[in-house]
């Protein structure tokens, strides 16, 4: 089961994966699509530059859940309105960096709602705030997705 993270560069995708994986937090610029355990990490540039939308869409076919990641301390929003609808998987929003003084959750939630996310989680990879709730919900969503799509995983489905 795979969870794919999409969001602008420096939104906090890689750091969030490190936190969710109980790894040491260290800056590591994502240069290409990376499969890390249950996660698919993507470079921010892939959603910020139209030329990369194709690879991003193709990669999403490997994912069971897509996460749109928005830096809650940033005024910038790179998600096109309704862009969650172009994926054939559940898309959840994640507002990151809630520990920062500049964090504005109202703004981050409105950006993610406009992008088409109906559920949004607030997290700080630095303090761990919101991480347990996110983990619980992702587990529940993965279970539901697997149950709803059980037939697809059966041998002979495509025969
Ligand atoms: N204060 C604070 N800083 C964070 C948090 N999460 C990430 N950062 C910082 O934000 C910067 C960018 O984080 P990354 O996780 O590399 O961002 P990314 O979305 O993976 O960026 P790309 O790989 O360029 O797409 C780093 O300096 C992180 O240390 C957080 O929860 N709180
Ligand atoms: Mg990264």
Over residues 78-114, the pLDDT tens digits come to: 999 999 999 989 999 999 999 999 999 999 999 999 9
Over residues 36-53, the pLDDT tens digits come to: 999 999 999 999 999 999
Half-sphere exposure of residue 92: CA atoms within 13 angstroms, side-chain side:
21
Report which protein residue has its CA nearest ligand 1's atom 3: 97
Half-sphere exposure of residue 145: CA atoms within 13 angstroms, side-chain side:
17
How far does the centroid of ligand 1 lie from the alpha carbon of residue 50, in Å? 22
Give the tokens for residue 90. Answer: 């559940």
How far does the centroid of ligand 2 lie from the alpha carbon of residue 70, in Å? 13
- What domains sit in the chain, N to C, each tagged with a CATH number? 3-150 (3.40.50.300)
Closest C-alpha to 72, from 23, 20, 130, 25: 130
Query: pTM of whole model > 0.85?
Result: yes
Pocket of ligand 1 (CB under 6 A): 7, 9-15, 27, 29-30, 43-44, 96-97, 99-100, 124-126
């Amino acid at each position: 089961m795979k969870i794919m993270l999409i969001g602008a560069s420096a939104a906090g995708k890689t750091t969030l994966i490190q936190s969710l994986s109980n790894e040491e937090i260290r800056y590591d610029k994502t240069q290409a699509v990376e499969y890390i355990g249950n996660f698919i990490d993507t470079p921010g540039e892939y959603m910020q530059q139209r030329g990369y939308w194709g690879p991003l869409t193709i990669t999403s076919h490997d994912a069971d859940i897509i996460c749109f990641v928005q830096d809650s301390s940033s005024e910038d929003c790179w998600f096109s309105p309704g862009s969650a609808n172009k994926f054939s998987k559940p898309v959840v929003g994640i507002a990151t960096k809630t520990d920062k003084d500049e964090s504005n959750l109202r703004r981050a939630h409105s950006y993610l709602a406009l992008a088409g996310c109906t559920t949004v989680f607030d997290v700080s990879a630095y303090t761990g705030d919101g991480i347990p709730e996110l983990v619980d919900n992702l587990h529940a969503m993965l279970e539901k997705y697997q149950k709803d799509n059980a037939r697809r995983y059966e041998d002979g489905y495509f025969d």
